[in-house]
Amino acid sequence: MTLIEMREVGKTYGPIRALGGISLSVRAGEVTCVLGDNGAGKSTLIKIMSGLLEHTEGQLMVDGEELVFSSPRQALSRGIATVYQDLAVVPLMEVWRNFFLGAELRSGRFPLAGLRIREMRRIADEELRKMGITVKDINQPIGTLSGGQRQCVAIARAVYFGARVLILDEPTAALGVKQSGVVLKYTAAARDAGLGVVFITHNPHHAYLVGDRFLVLKRGRVELDSRRDEISLNDLTQEMAGGDELDALAHELRRTTK
């Protein structure tokens, strides 16, 4: 089932084109990997999907309906949740407050209505356990968790609030090998739960572990669009590392070092 479909989507800032001619589809139960070097347009692409930026060209279709998101709230209400690498959580707030931030349970609809704190603590704890994350104290500031754990809490939160599309922005970029493994596991778990996952990374090895489809961006354009069975890890790495440019560079370096 196709959840998001992009047709020739682009974004220009005045005369500068950050992104152009992007076509991709996000399907339920699949991981779509978007790879690219710094400045390739990955962030612009996910910001369009998550509602932080409006696209200026092409069509963005969610469940077959053409839309332009003007705020993250709109994207969220369509079931599109984004977990950002560096801004997934508010460090000084408790784990449970972070879990429910933006979707708090209240005891009424009037302005001063109290939060249902006990219930939120219980649900946050249960949901994290379900994902296999055990937090000793749900009341501790989330800043006391490690980077990988914070990412996992953010993913668990998105899954709990009924996200159908999960956009992960470089979730493993700042993590060590072991923590990256944990995050990749939750990514796979989200896929198995039937979510459409968009996985942004510049690490082809991580992408190849979980991806069903690979999109390599370069200077705001699609360089490669391939299904998993059509491409090997070596080819993907080659493509990501600069492809022919790398060959030329290798050749050059060989000659000078000899």
Partner 1 sequence: MTESLVAGSPNPLSHRLFARPEIGATAAAGVILVFFLAAAPAFRSGGSFFTVLYQSSTIGIVAIGVGLLMIGGEFDLSAGVIVTTAGLANSMFCWWFGIDLWVGALLSLAFCLFIGFVNGYLVMRTGIPSFLITLGTFFVLQGANLGLTKVVTGSVTSPDISRMDGYPLLEGVFASNFDAGGVTVWGTVLWWLGFTALAAWVLQRTRTGNWVFAIGGSADSARAVGVPVVRTKIGLFMTVSFLGWFVGMHTLYRFNTLQAGNGVGNEFLYIIAAVVGGTLLTGGYGNAIGVGIGAFIFGTTSLGIVYAGWDPNWFKAFLGVMLLLAVLVNLYVKSLATSTRLLRDSPGKADDA
Binding site for partner 1 (CB under 8 A): 50, 52, 72-73, 76, 82, 84, 87-93, 97, 100-104, 106, 111-115, 117, 131-137, 139-141, 143-146, 148-149, 152, 157, 176, 178-179, 182, 185, 189
> Given the complex with partner 1, which of 180 and 240 has the nearer CB atom?
180
- Chain centre distance of CA 91: 20
CB nearer to partner 1: pick between 73 and 205: 73
In the bound state with partner 1, the residue whose beta carbon lies nearer, of 84 and 214, is 84
Nearer Cβ to partner 1, position 193 or 246?
Answer: 193
Shortest approach of partner 1 to residue 250 CB, angstroms? 35
- What order of strands is seen across the sheet that includes strand 31-36? 80-83, 165-169, 196-201, 31-36, 213-218, 221-227
Nearer to partner 1, 186 or 208 (CB): 186
Burial class from Cβ neighbours inside 10 Å (0-12, 13-18, 19+) for residue 23 reads: middle
The DSSP H or E segment spanning 62 is: strand 57-62
Look up residue 245 and give its DSSP letter: H
Q: Least distance in Å: CB of 75 to partner 1?
A: 9
Structure tokens at 114: 């109290």
Q: Which residues contact 17 (CB under 8 A, 6 or more apart)?
A: 10, 11, 220
Nearest residue (CB) to partner 1, 22 versus 76: 76
- Shortest approach of partner 1 to residue 21 CB, angstroms? 27
Least spacing, CB of residue 120 vs partner 1, in Å: 10
Q: For the range 230-233, what are the long-range contacts, defined as Cβ-Cβ under 8 Å and sequence gap of 24 or more?
A: 233/204, 233/205, 233/208
Which are the contacts of 55, defined by CB distance < 8 A and separation ≥ 6? 9, 10, 11, 19, 48, 68
Least distance in angstroms from the C-beta of 209 to partner 1? 15
Residue 206 to residue 199: CA distance in whole angstroms: 10
Q: Cβ of residue 17: shortest distance to partner 1, in angstroms?
A: 24
Q: How far apart are CA 31 and CA 34, in angstroms?
A: 10
For residue 187, the surrounding DSSP H or E stretch is helix 177-192
Nearest distance in Å: CB 105, partner 1 = 9
Nearer to partner 1, 40 or 133 (CB): 133
